């Protein structure tokens, strides 16, 4: 029997990336999004995709639509919410323990992959996980670290501070012993066996400017009368992949307001 894969996504105000993130895990058996209190279009998008809320009430998780009405839905697209407190230094650990508690109550002994909402799983990543999980079916305590690529600046460059980057313990079997420590960058603990896997996650955090590039390209394509379509495509791809001609700037020439803004 094939093991189930639960995709847990954690985020807030992630309308730029949530569609890609969801698409990359569409083959999971269940997708759960843990929201920190989004005020942009994230929740509207999930609502249109058919996601329903799970609300903790009377010692159980009840299903609600965005309007608050109780509904019966298939257990596939789920939203759970725990308001993020930016002043709380332990909030990251608290948020992750919040979704971990939900997983323990509803999916004990299933497998889970955790993604931040600005991360995208590689093509066929869920299928690769299933193949790996089938080899681990008799092992209860397993924490696995996938490969991760951090885009830097654009889609043509990634973090090279290490030859290979792994994100700790993002793939795991859901057991009662698991927990996250409280802190800024908590790593899941509570299992004996730990290892690495050649499944790749792509992270957008250091290149969010590509979304502005995309928006500008769409606007230029519709409105520009100065440049040819060929030039517009050349500009777009060279900006996306970091190959647009450029040279170094001497920081001493940069105006003081810019230096103050970026604490140079």
Rg (CA), the chain: 21
Q: What are the pLDDT digits (tens) for 50-60?
A: 888 876 655 66
Give the span between the Cα atoms of 46 and 18, in whole angstroms. Answer: 9
The residues, ordered by sequence, that sit 6+ positions from 48 with a Cβ below 8 Å of its Cβ are none
**Does pLDDT of 138 surpass 80?**
no
Give the pLDDT confidence score for residue 233 in this predicted structure: 93
**Does pLDDT of 228 surpass 50?**
yes
The larger pLDDT score, comparing residue 206 to residue 65, is at 206
Q: What are the pLDDT digits (tens) for 155-169?
A: 999 999 999 999 999
Give the span between the Cα atoms of 158 and 20, in whole angstroms. Answer: 18
CB-CB contact of 62 with 54 (8 Å):
yes
Q: Considering only the top CATH level, what class is 5-206?
A: alpha beta
Residues forming CATH 3.90.550.10 domain(s) in the chain: 5-206
CB-CB contact of 172 with 191 (8 Å):
yes
Q: What are the pLDDT digits (tens) for 162-203?
A: 999 999 999 999 999 999 999 878 999 998 888 999 999 999
């Amino acid at each position: 029997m094939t093991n189930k894969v639960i995709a847990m996504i954690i985020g807030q105000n992630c309308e730029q990336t949530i569609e890609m993130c969801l698409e990359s895990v569409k083959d999971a058996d269940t997708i759960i999004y843990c929201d920190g209190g989004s005020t942009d279009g994230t929740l509207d998008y999930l609502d249109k995709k058919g996601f329903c809320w799970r609300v903790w009430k009377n010692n159980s998780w009840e299903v609600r639509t965005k309007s608050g009405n109780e509904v019966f839905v298939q257990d596939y697209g789920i939203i759970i919410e725990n308001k993020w407190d930016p002043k709380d230094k332990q909030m990251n650990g608290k948020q992750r323990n919040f979704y971990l508690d939900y997983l323990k109550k509803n999916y004990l002994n299933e497998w889970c992959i955790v993604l931040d909402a600005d991360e995208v799983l590689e093509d066929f990543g869920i299928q690769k996980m299933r193949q790996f999980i089938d080899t681990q079916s008799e092992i209860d305590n397993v924490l696995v670290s996938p490969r991760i690529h951090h885009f830097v600046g654009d889609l043509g460059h990634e973090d090279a501070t290490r030859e290979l980057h792994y994100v700790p313990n993002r793939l795991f079997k859901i057991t009662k012993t698991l927990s996250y420590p409280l802190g800024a960058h908590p790593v899941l603990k509570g299992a004996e066996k730990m290892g690495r896997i050649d499944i790749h996650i792509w992270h957008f955090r250091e290149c969010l400017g590509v979304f502005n590039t995309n928006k500008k390209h769409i606007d230029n394509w519709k409105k520009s009368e100065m440049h040819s379509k060929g030039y517009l495509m050349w500009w777009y791809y060279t900006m996306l992949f970091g190959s647009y001609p450029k040279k170094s700037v001497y920081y001493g020439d940069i105006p003081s307001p810019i230096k103050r803004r970026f604490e140079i």
